[in-house]
Amino acid sequence: MLKTRQTKYTKAVEKYFIKYNHTSNHQALDYLKDWYPNLTATTVHRITERMVKNHGLKLAPLTINQVKRFDSNLTIHDHFHCRNCDSLRDINLPDRIIIELETLLNGCRLTGSLTISGVCQKCIKNKEVV
């Protein structure tokens, strides 16, 4: 019985993060509560921890308020982070930019993903820029 319920929750959490990438445990719980009223923050936390451990989910760059959020895009990629609306967008910086940066760093090698920040088109269009 317990096992069935856990599987049900795990599937729901997995589906949630595929649909709503770059979101947090809190956002997942908020959304899933409508369908699963007995789902708790602890359960969501436990499921995402396990998914990260099993490489089914990756950590995405933190929110402005340092909240952990997840990435269901498991390929290696970089991010654009909007400092205004806190949204993340997946990008792949071309090799020539990486090489340029490595040159600027006197031959240090970039190995991880990069997060560049700014203001997204949506915020610029809505003149929400602060």
Minimum separation from the CB atom of position 89 to Zn ion (A) = 8
Q: Contacts from 67-74 at CB under 8 Å and sequence distance 24+?
A: 67/24, 67/26, 68/24, 68/25, 69/22, 69/23, 69/24, 69/27, 70/17, 70/21, 70/22, 70/23, 70/24, 71/21, 71/22, 72/17, 72/18, 72/21, 73/21
* Segment lying near Zn ion (by CB under 5 A), choices 6-14, 47-55, 67-75, 105-113: 67-75
DSSP category for residue 128: -
Binding residue for Zn ion (CB under 5 A) from 69, 71, 72, 80? 71
Assess 85 for contact with Zn ion (CB under 5 A).
yes
* Segment lying near Zn ion (by CB under 5 A), choices 23-31, 34-42, 80-88, 91-99: 80-88
Binding residue for Zn ion (CB under 5 A) from 10, 27, 63, 84? 84
Residue ranges in contact with Zn ion by CB under 5 A: 71, 73, 82, 84-85, 90, 120, 123
